[in-house]
Copies of this chain bind each other. A is one copy, B any other.
Amino acid sequence: MLSKVFSSTQKAYLAGFLDGDGSIYVRAKPNSTYKFGFQIAPYVVLFQSAKDRINFEKICSLIDLGHLRERKDGILEYIISRTGNILGFLNLIEPYLILKKSQSVLAKEIIKAKSEVKNKEDFAALMKKVDSFRELNYSKKRKMRKLTP
């Protein structure tokens, strides 16, 4: 799956970069050609302003597991979308993640659960995990405010 060998400092650098300006998320896209009506699509994305394209491309080639696109607003996105590549990348960097470690763990769980779906119940359980992922990405502020006086 991963042909390259990454040094521990390369893995840590990429973990820091993802924690700083990256995202791990899972989309449930309505799609009638899928058995349960949805395509479950996980993503790992690194962002950077297009003004840093030359150097950002160095980071992308170091990873070499996704594709680069430029959004209309001038932001570059390096998108890892193949399941095998996401697993490979997360396994590399997860030990060094600080901000997005729980997202990494849950994304891997979802990929596993997705590969094991046999019936409607399994799929409903998978969709629950996808929902809890969204919660992880968007509601931390509220949770934190409850915890701190």
A96 CA to B8 CA in the complex, in Å? 12
A4 at the interface (CB under 8 A from B): no
Instruction: Decide if the interface of chain A is mainly helix, strand, loop or mixed.
Output: helix
Which of chain B's residues have a CB closer than 8 A to the CB of A48? 20, 99
Is there a chain B Cβ closer than 8 Å to A46's Cβ? yes
Copies of this subunit: 2
Q: Count contacts on A: residues with CB < 8 A to the other chain.
A: 39
Q: Is the CB of B99 within 8 A of A141?
A: no
Q: Which residues of B contact A55 (CB under 8 A)?
A: 98-99
Ordered by A's residue number, 9 sampled pairs between the chains whose C-beta atoms are within 8 Å are: A9-B9, A13-B15, A13-B16, A17-B17, A17-B20, A20-B21, A51-B139, A51-B140, A53-B148
